[in-house]
A and B are shown apart, each in its own frame.
Chain A
């Protein structure tokens, strides 16, 4: 598969200000040296607990937030070097679906307005063509075109998420970054949206960077999965390899914590001690060592690099 986008050593540090003059005294290392490649047509799932930097990663890739360091290479261009204006043509190809189906639609705009907005912004096609395109796409995502004259609040969460998806599809993008697109939805609706995303991927040969915190969802939709912990990639592997044999102790704990809807299966659960540490001052060495049951002396001092321990299976842990 061809490489579509490369992320190299991406970092995003949010400054923390304090002191009399509000000098920057520290940083929240929301994304700390993350690299990966996206291949055309694949979907890379990204999981991790709340606050580990998933959204920040997604947003920096799209240059919605300027990265502190690192490169995002697309179409042989480093996107981070582009200005706000120069970035505009690329935005047609790189789209985003947001986590919150309520907040991501302007509640004062009609659906027709929201969905045709991308065409208007890029000054593509006539008003009539826009209407046609809108109807076509609405149909694709399973919305009746009679809905076009309504406001977002008249829709259920699942329907709104479809509207968000429709908006992202309007410009025929190549890559869609989906930031927890189903987290706010009920299971039955979640299933509809996941199916829809899969269908669309097939039809348009889309590439997904799919962010979620639910391992089962990620497993369902992705071909490869990355596990993040405190701004770093802990493990990155093809789906089957990862779920069959998770290597990182964190991935193992995460998997065992997912409740399984089958009361007959009694699993050995790894219950992690304590909370996720603050990203403002992450533990030294391996960020996970404070909660890790296999913690060794070296873990507290040295930060493990992401290594390829099996084919295409990367892990950042001193155990390997």
Chain B
């Protein structure tokens, strides 16, 4: 197992390397000049040139890349052009918020998605199944920003049950305070992922229900509950896990919209503003962070496979 993990970690190197090259090229090759954006329309050419030199943007691209990647290795991720702060601590802190949000939504999405999927599969072709899958389609179609606003207005403003936006109440930082703030954005973000997980769970469970070992389990006189939740679910969970892994990636990146709507202090706004302001070090840092997390999570999921499926051995 350890050697498997080691090997996978090796495998991550080219992927992350590719990600850095890609983000670097995209950022630097797209039109738009950070100096012009920072200095605004009022800037003179001389001051733009001066700023470009100060930011090192007058160097040839490959030199800039090598300098950047070299510094990253030494733990210096540079300073945000727009935010003027050091990238690493800034991104790390904001990313934590995104991560909490993503985690909460994937938990919500998984719990509801898997639950709905199991019931649908068990009651295949019944009205319950059909209406459940109809709901799932609605969930899939709800644009997050729209759902988010709706939740705010209903549960935040009109019913006053939950906070409307932000991660903490003004001037506070308590854990439960954060959890209360987390609920609405997490729900808004989880709708789409929940729908996809539900569909996957359903089809995977349907498949498993037709397997011989389910018949065996029933022939032993087990209770249906055990047949479904232990024998069937444990097998059906493996493809579902893959989907969950992919969704985590999607949520991590897609949290942007929800974060904007809920003023959640994640990397979302940071990233969008960064891109729009051509804040190279910041965007590169954010992407590197997100990509690393994504590949790490997928590694984790591959390891989880081994727990759910003993046939996969990473020897």
Q: Which residues of A contact B (CB under 8 A)?
A: 18-22
Contacts and interface: CB of A to CB of B under 8 A. Distances in A.
Contacts of A19: 3, 7
9 contacts: A18-B315, A19-B3, A19-B7, A20-B3, A20-B6, A20-B7, A20-B10, A21-B10, A22-B7
Nearest to B4: A20
Interface in B1-25: 3, 6-7, 10
Contacts of A21: 7, 10
A20 B3 CA distance: 5
Secondary structure at the B interface, as helix, strand, loop or mixed, is: helix
A295 to B, nearest CB: 32
Interface of B: 3, 6-7, 10, 315
Secondary structure at the A interface, as helix, strand, loop or mixed, is: loop
Nearest to B6: A20
Given A19-B7, A20-B10, 8 more contacts: A18-B315, A19-B3, A20-B3, A20-B6, A20-B7, A21-B7, A21-B10, A22-B7
Contacts of A18: 315
A280 to B, nearest CB: 13
A27 B3 CA distance: 20
B271 to A, nearest CB: 35
A21 B10 CA distance: 9
Nearest to A21: B7
Contacts of B315: 18
Contacts of A20: 3, 6-7, 10
A19 B6 CA distance: 10
A22 B6 CA distance: 11
Contacts of B3: 19-20
Closest 5 CB pairs of A and B: A20-B7, A20-B3, A20-B6, A18-B315, A19-B3
A20 B5 CA distance: 8
A20 B315 CA distance: 9
A22 B11 CA distance: 11
Contacts of B7: 19-22
Nearest to A22: B7
A18 B170 CA distance: 55
B314 to A, nearest CB: 10
B5 to A, nearest CB: 9
Nearest to A18: B315
Contacts of B6: 20
A21 B6 CA distance: 9
Nearest to B3: A20
B298 to A, nearest CB: 18
Contacts of A22: 7
A28 to B, nearest CB: 16
Which of A18, A20, A22: most chain B Cβ within 10 A?
Answer: A20
